[in-house]
Amino acid sequence: MIKTRTAKFQIGQIVRHRVFSFRGVIFDIDPEFNNTEEWWLSIPEEVRPHKDQPFYHLLAENSESEYVAYVSEQNLLADDSGEPVRHSQVAEIFVKDKSGSYRPRNPSLN
């Protein structure tokens, strides 16, 4: 029997990491882990997430830099701060609507 996964978060949503001090906007979602085994094994075993959950690609930022992050659902929380994400690529992928939410610039890509 195939188990169906439903992502808790959506593309364009701003989220923050549960443990580490960074946040970002989701630009892609994998229904389960879809990165290299080397990447997964580089995470310390005591905090290594399960592979059988959604993983999110984020345009991420912390107080020092901007980068792309790949994060398991179990490590994300909704960010309700209302603050925009300053990542330089946000404007390439998203349009900010009147409510302050991000929506894909080209919805047919989803």
Span 3-36, pLDDT tens digits: 667 899 999 999 999 999 999 999 999 999 999 9
18, 42, 98 from 22: Cα distances, Å: 9, 19, 25
Range of the domain at 93: 14-109
CB-CB contact of 8 with 73 (8 Å) = yes
- Name the pTM for this structure: 0.90
Instruction: Please indicate, yes or no, if residue 92 is contained in any of the structural domains.
Output: yes
**pLDDT tens, 44-88?**
898 899 999 999 999 999 999 999 999 999 999 999 998 999 999
Instruction: Please indicate, yes or no, if residue 105 is contained in any of the structural domains.
Output: yes
CB-CB contact of 77 with 16 (8 Å) = yes
Instruction: Please indicate, yes or no, if residue 6 is contained in any of the structural domains.
Output: no
Instruction: Please indicate, yes or no, if residue 8 is contained in any of the structural domains.
Output: no
Instruction: Please indicate, yes or no, if residue 51 is contained in any of the structural domains.
Output: yes
* Cβ-based neighbour number of residue 25 at 10 Å: 26
